[in-house]
Amino acid sequence: MALLELRDIHKTYHLGGETIRALDGVSLDIDSGEFISIIGPSGSGKSTLMHILGCLDSPTSGTLRLDDTMIHDASSRQLASIRNKKIGFVFQFFNLLPKLTVRQNVELPMIYSGLSGKERRERAITALRRVNMEDRSKHRPSQLSGGQQQRTAIARALVNDPRIIFADEPTGNLDSHTGELILEMFDQLHNEGRTVMLVTHDPEIAAVTPRRIEIRDGKIANEADPTLAGNTPRFEQITNGEAKATT
Amino acid sequence: MNFGTVIQSGIKEIGAHWFRSLLTMFGVICGVASLVTMAAFVKGKENLLRESLAETGGLEKITVESEDDLPDYQKHLEGEARGVTLKDVYALQNGAPMVHDITPSINKSRYRGYLRVSRKGRGARPWMLQGTWPSALEIQEHEIEHGRMFTMMDDLLANNVCVIGTEIRNSLFDEVDDQGETIIPIGERILINYVPFTIVGMFREYMSDEDRKKKEAAKAAGAAEETRSRRNMFSRGADSNTRRTQYIYYQKNNAIMVPLNTLVAKLDSSYETGSVLDRKLSEITMKIDDVSLLSPSLQQVRNVLMRTHKGLEDFEFETQEEFADDITLAIHNERVSGMFIAGICLLIGGIGIINIMLSSISERVREIGIRKSVGATTMDVFTQILIESVVLAVAGGLAGLAISPILVNTLAGLADDTTPPIMTTQAMLIAFGFSALIGSFAGLFPAIKAAKLDPIQALRYD
């Protein structure tokens, strides 16, 4: 059974009488332990897709399953709990809380999972050690470089041992060298058996992942899977129409 | 989410903007401090008034006075009206079991008629000369400190004896002699309207507890200072209620009592002849057994008097209930006006908190987005903002409680003639409770607003 299963996901926005189809029938399976990139130009719907996959947003129609939870009809409380325990986010702008220290930032998700102060501290230190940020645990985000901030964000994403990590343009705000280091870190996480999904507009970054999904106009336009047919791009098999027929 | 962590982060959030928080708390601080201060002053006043009510005989005292103005339908019988007489006293003793200590008195005020009290060229200005029975002592809540009260035998024999208040002693003798000893003029002769009287007793000096403390303190410091301050206490009383209370002490200290028969026989040469029982009295005072039975007791007295007066309503009742009602009303009014001011302060404090919380959450939209993305529920965000607001208000409340004793003492020091304030724990608890309540109400709207933020919008927000 796939870790994540999307079937015919639609998402429409209404902006001033105009209907925008951000996602127009996306179906997708993601297995545990995969390293995937979602690529597409801005406005293609890739961010919307990530938000829906990350339980920050719910689809207008379609079904979405993570593990054995049907997410499309979960309550906001359940969604919060899923975000807390099963999902880790890494953002382009790091999104650390400036008033908290590095360690407190990493502890943040555990506050909402109700762990004791002592356990939070121990697990935060372990996660920081994992990203080589242990010695900076008492610093504030403003005292860190971009790469260090992003590593802190990765530690925060890891700390509750999530089923899947989403990274939205994780290198977008970093110089290319630091960006590479961060991508290497995601690769390592993948090698440790974690499921990682990168969202990017940059084909070069997408190239590091074995599986690439291209989004255009709210649809999966193209999926390149190096494990199939010698890395040649091929059209996504499960198209809109077929998905409807099968479900 | 754990409660302690939220409170901790709330305190941290206040500390991060301590100056802004202080300004925000100012309204709550003022509200709480003014509530406590107001309550302290009102409580002080109430105690003083209740004290003075007790000093004048408490609620149990009833006075029957002669009334010259008859009701219209009895106008033609005006010539028959004698007012209250000794006959009434004896009739009440036999016919009104619900009242006791029935005491007749004839009062000679210094304002009406001629009254001169003197000794060796020194004069006194008594508030009132009262010819009465020994039971007046109890009725008027007098206490003999030196000597004795005159007896019924003194009354029967019309002995020239009197009991005086301390102010009379001060005028005729001085308070202390050359050696600094208090003068006790028992056995001394004084002249009342040029008739010699022997002082057989002196009342204790009546003053409020606070004045007594002041006097004791002054005694330690030096006697001269003390005399002046006591003189002042009547002449420049701060407000009507204080003055009223001080007035009662003044009256009691300036009283002279002589036996009823002595007054009639020796001092009132113009007094009418005729039966002793028909003597017109100024008033008859008595006590009722049970305050809750005030109106049936009054009715009983009335029934007896209507009979002795043959239906003529030439008397009227005076009860202390009016005074008690006055006290209740005065206290109520002060409380309401004080609460109003404190309430406005707290309201403004609350609005200040709403304002600052709203601006705080719009500064922290991104933070809220981040918190939601790592798993904070709507409830978590709501609780966090609400608790921050409560912490802010409660901190203001505590600060208000902390400064209120200073405020109370400063105000009491500025006007040393006001009633001494009394700070009560009850008032402090209420004020503190109000601050917490204001905090939670003020936090409600910002907390709902924060909790409703869409995490995606919030994360995109710059």
Paired with B144 in beta bridges are: B203
Q: Quick one: pLDDT at residue B232?
A: 46
CB contact (8 A) between residue B375 and residue A109:
yes
Q: Where are the domains of chain A?
A: 4-246
Residue B397 or B419, more confident? B397
The pLDDT of residue B268: 72
CA distance A96 to A106: 9
pLDDT reading at B448 higher than 90: yes
Cβ of A76 and B378 within 8 Å? yes
Average pLDDT of chain B to the nearest whole number: 83
The pLDDT of B246-274, averaged and rounded, is 80
Decide if pLDDT at A54 tops 50.
yes
Residue found by looking up tokens 């970054």 in the block: A205
pLDDT at A73: 80
pLDDT tens digits for range A181-193: 888 888 888 888 8
pLDDT at B388 over 70: yes
Report how far apart, in Å, the C-alpha atoms of B260 and of each of A169, B133, B141, B268, B283 are.
108, 6, 18, 11, 12
CB within 8 Å: A95 and B455: no
Distance CA B135, CA B108 (A): 18
User: DSSP letter at B364?
Assistant: T
pLDDT tens digits, A123-177: 888 888 888 888 888 888 889 888 888 889 988 988 888 888 888 888 888 888 8
Q: Please report the sign of the dihedral spanned by the C-alpha atoms of residue B130, residue B52, residue B330, residue B337.
A: positive
- pTM metric for this prediction: 0.70
For B416-436, what is the mean pLDDT? 83
Instruction: Please state the rounded mean pLDDT for residues B91-108.
Output: 89
pLDDT of B200 higher than 90: yes
User: Is the pLDDT higher at B216 or at B159?
Assistant: B159
Closest by alpha carbon to A162, among B374, B390, B191? B374
Distance from A111 to chain B by nearest Cα, in Å? 6
Partners of B257 in the β-ladder = B130, B163
Give the residue-averaged pLDDT of B419-429.
Answer: 85
Partners of B1 on chain A (C-beta within 8 Å) are 111-112, 114
pLDDT in tens, B209-234: 767 777 777 777 765 444 444 444 44
**B338 neighbors B42 (Cβ within 8 angstroms):** yes
CB contact under 8 A, A89 and B379: no
Mention every residue, 6+ apart, whose C-beta is less than 8 A from residue A84. Answer: A109, A112, A113, A160, B374, B375, B376
Residue A231 has pLDDT above 50, yes or no: no
Smallest Cα distance from B221 to chain A, Å? 60
φ, ψ of residue B36 in degrees (nearest 5): -65, -40
Residue B445 C-alpha, separation from nearest chain A C-alpha, in angstroms: 20
DSSP per-residue string spanning A187-206: HHHHHTT-EEEEEES-HHHH
A205-215 burial: b if 16+ Cβ within 10 Å, else e: bbebbebbbbb
Residue B382 in tokens: 């709501």
Can you point out the beta strands (E) in chain A?
A: 4-15, 18-30, 35-39, 61-66, 69-70, 87-90, 164-168, 195-200, 211-216, 219-224
Indicate if the pLDDT at residue A71 is higher than 90. Answer: no
Tell me: the pLDDT tens digits for B58-96? 788 888 888 877 888 888 887 777 788 888 899 999 988
CB A236 within 8 A of CB A220: yes
Class of residue B420 by CB neighbours under 10 A (exposed 0-12, middle 13-18, buried 19+): buried
Contact status, residue A84 vs residue B375, Cβ threshold 8 Å:
yes
Residue B304: phi and psi, rounded to 5, are -65, -45
Q: What is the mean pLDDT of residues B263-288?
A: 76
CA A206 – CA A202 distance, rounded (Å)? 6
User: What is the assigned CATH class of domain A4-246?
Assistant: alpha beta
Residues of B at the A interface, defined by Cβ within 8 angstroms: 1-2, 5, 12-13, 16, 366-367, 369-380, 455-456, 459
Q: B286, B62 in Cβ contact below 8 A?
A: yes
pLDDT at B236: 44
Instruction: Please name the residue that has the structure tokens 């010819």.
Output: B131
Question: CA torsion sign, B389 to B390 to B393 to B395?
Answer: negative
In this complex, is the C-beta atom of A118 within 8 Å of any C-beta atom belonging to chain B?
no
Cβ pair B373:A111 closer than 8 A: no
**Quick one: pLDDT at residue B20?**
87
With a pLDDT cut of 90, the percent of chain B lying above it is 17
Does the beta-carbon distance from A108 to B455 stay under 8 Å? no
Q: Where are the beta strands (DSSP E) in B61-126?
A: 61-66, 99-109, 117-119, 122-124
Instruction: Name which of A53, A84, A152, A199 to mutate to probe chain B: the one with the most chain B Cβ atoms within 10 A of its Cβ.
Output: A84
Between positions 147 and 186 of A, the ones with CB within 8 A of B are 156, 160
ipTM of the prediction: 0.85
Mean pLDDT of chain A: 82
Q: Best interface-test mutation with A: which of B373, B377, B383, B454 has the largest number of A CBs within 10 A?
A: B373
* pLDDT reported for residue A245: 39
SS3 B368: helix
Is the CB of residue A83 less than 8 Å away from at least one CB of chain B? yes
pLDDT-above-90 percentage for chain A = 0
Q: How many CB pairs under 8 A join A and B?
A: 64
Q: Give the contacts of B178 (CB within 8 A, at least 6 positions apart).
A: none
Mean pLDDT of B298-326: 85
Bigger pLDDT: A88 vs A222: A88
Nearest to A80 among B12, B367, B377 (CB): B377
Residue B235 has pLDDT above 60, yes or no: no
pLDDT at position B199 over 90? yes
Q: Minimal Cα–Cα distance from A123 to chain B, Å?
A: 16
According to the model, what pLDDT value does residue A239 have? Answer: 38
